[in-house]
Structure 1
């Protein structure tokens, strides 16, 4: 068992509670009967979970049904604040979005997934679902691939074993051999490209941010544009250089703060 694998047994009640929460989020709110059908459990059983989760603030209820509660914002805010480096990176993301006019996201890896820590949109940004806290598979996004390119091979393999390589679009990389070739290319040029691999009609360029000590990734920032913009080699060079300069500034700031 590798150091990244977690031993022990899972608790069915917690798994069920999490499935119910995921279902409520996916349905963007739902009534008891809808949730029970979706999770394939008796309404009496689901009602017990819903009542408990509501009492703890993880769900809230109105005439339309149950919705995700703001207690998650409390926990998520705490999770983001526990890493001081994030507070230094976020203003850089805002500045980059203003400078380029595009959408910029800062993503980190945790437990084999990528999580959106911050998103900033410029005046020309493409509007897609990229909310703070969004969870993504690392192999399908530019920021995710940028992060994977900095990790040791054993860690990449552990992530792929645990989380898989689901296909989001026809362009998604779904084999380990192809991903390995892609990560090698990213290491050579210093930035990643996701060409409609996570969302059709969306291309991204990403650059990893490394810590000042063990050179492990803190996360990555990426810029998202429509695919035709990257048909222009000058635009790709300009954007990648802008991202690389910003990351260099961030890494220097982190080193000497």
Structure 2
């Protein structure tokens, strides 16, 4: 993993960075890993992983069972602190619920975090992906409709920096997998004001998303409707779902302006 100039400075706390890397290594696929599995995933030595785990266990964020380790509910405090500081979720909750009831499909809100989008609100109706999606779930921004409407708002220099840090992966044969193809798609998203993805993350998924802008005009989040794929789904998404999305978008943005809410710096892309 290439280092950055800051990582070589005296202000960089290497032990903290390593501890967070260990903490982030836990996921659905590796829910109760062994020390060796964590060392392999994090590309850290067993000794470093062991010290990190013992520290996290002492602080109450990790538990152990035999040779396996697991996250404790205390890790939710970290995400909850962010969500409680994110007034945007309060402003959007009612509109999201009304949107889901109106269209009969799952609706979500997400923000950009580095290479991924992170779900900050979700009203599920049915499961449309093999992985469980909920608050805190992450998806690759380049292949997700919500990621694309946020990326489309980035200034050219920031988008170029973002693209340089990406590793494109073909999740399905339909996935856009090159920087040039993504740039062309983002230009289309800017012009039409929404993003539509069809079978790019999973074969059975279609999603349409619109941006959410703060009072200063900057895109701070995205709102989407996800639905099972069918031959008619893309046309249905544009003709039936998009007008409902626009109404929810307008209601949320109106609430933002009325409240005078402006985004925290934490919500901005890592490349701002």
Shorter-chain TM range is: 0.7 to 0.9
2:63 aligned with 1:60: yes
Which whole-Å deviations, capped at 9, do the CAs of 1:41-65 have from their partners, x for residues lacking one? 6655433221111112221233572
For the aligned residues, what is the CA RMSD?
Answer: 2.4
C-alpha separation in 2, matches of 1:41 and 1:151: 34
Aligned to 1:202: 205
Quote how far apart the aligned CAs of 1:143 are: 0.5
Which whole-Å deviations, capped at 9, do the CAs of 1:78-136 have from their partners, x for residues lacking one? 111222122111222222222222111110013343111111112x4535421211222
Equivalent pair of 1:143/1:220 in contact (CA under 8 Å):
yes
| Residue aligned with 1:8, SS | helix
C-alpha separation in 2, matches of 1:153 and 1:118: 28
Report the TM-score, using the length of structure 1 for normalisation.
Answer: 0.86
Q: Which has the larger displacement, 161-170 or 237-246?
A: 161-170
Assess, with a 3 A threshold, how the Cα gap between structure 1 residues 38 and 88 changes in structure 2: closer, same or farther: closer
Aligned to 2:257: 255
C-alpha separation in 2, matches of 1:195 and 1:129: 19
C-alpha separation in 2, matches of 1:184 and 1:41: 40
Q: Which runs of 5+ in 2 are unaligned?
A: 260-272
C-alpha separation in 2, matches of 1:40 and 1:106: 32
2:142 aligned with 1:139: yes
| Residue aligned with 1:228, SS | coil
Which whole-Å deviations, capped at 9, do the CAs of 1:117-176 have from their partners, x for residues lacking one? 111112x45354212112222111000011111221212112122233333222221222
Aligned to 2:174: 171
2:154 aligned with 1:151: yes
Number of residue equivalences:
250
C-alpha separation in 2, matches of 1:110 and 1:245: 26
Aligned to 1:238: 240
Q: Which runs of 5+ in 1 are unaligned?
A: 1-5
| Residue aligned with 1:223, SS | strand
Higher RCO structure, 1 or 2 (CA under 8 Å, sep 6+): 2
Equivalent pair of 1:113/1:163 in contact (CA under 8 Å):
no
2:106 aligned with 1:106: no
| Residue aligned with 1:171, SS | coil
Report the TM-score, using the length of structure 2 for normalisation.
Answer: 0.81
C-alpha separation in 2, matches of 1:40 and 1:139: 25
Which whole-Å deviations, capped at 9, do the CAs of 1:14-35 have from their partners, x for residues lacking one? 4433343233334111233543
Q: 95, 98, 106: which is aligned to 2:98?
A: 95
Aligned to 1:8: 6
Quote how far apart the aligned CAs of 1:192 are: 0.5
